[in-house]
A and B are shown apart, each in its own frame.
Chain A
Amino acid sequence: MRQAVILGLCFGVLGAMMVAPPLSGQSGEIVMISYAGPSQEPHRFYLVEPFQQAHPGLTVRLVPDEAGEYVARVQAALAASRPSSVDLAPNGEPPHLRLIGLGLLERTNTDLVPNLKLAYQAFVEKSQGYGVPATYSLIGIAYNSQKVTKVPTSWKDLWDPAYRGKVGLTSTSSNLGLGFLVAAAKMNGGDEANLEPAWQAIRSLQPFVIAPNPTALAQLFEREEIVIAPLWSTDAAVLASKGLPIKFVKPQPGAIAIVSFLSIIKGSQFTQIAHELLNRVLSVEYQSKAAARPYFFGPTNVKVAVPPEAADYIPTTLNEIRRLQTVNWPVIVPVRAAIVERWNREFAR
Chain B
Amino acid sequence: MIEIKGIHKRYGNVPVLEGIDLQVKSGEVVCLIGPSGSGKSTLLRCINGLESYDQGDVLISNERVDRNARSIHDIRSRVAMVFQRFNLFPHRTALENVMEGPIYVKKENPQAARRNAEALMEKVGLSRRMNAYPDELSGGQQQRVAIARALAMNPQAILFDEPTSALDPELVGEVLAVMRNLANEGMTMIVVTHEMAFARDVADKVCFLHSGKIVESGPAGEVLSTPTHPRTQDFLRRLLNHSAEVQA
- Please say whether chains A and B are actual partners in one complex: no
Residues in chain A within 8 A of chain B (CB atoms): none
Q: Which residues of B contact A (CB under 8 A)?
A: none
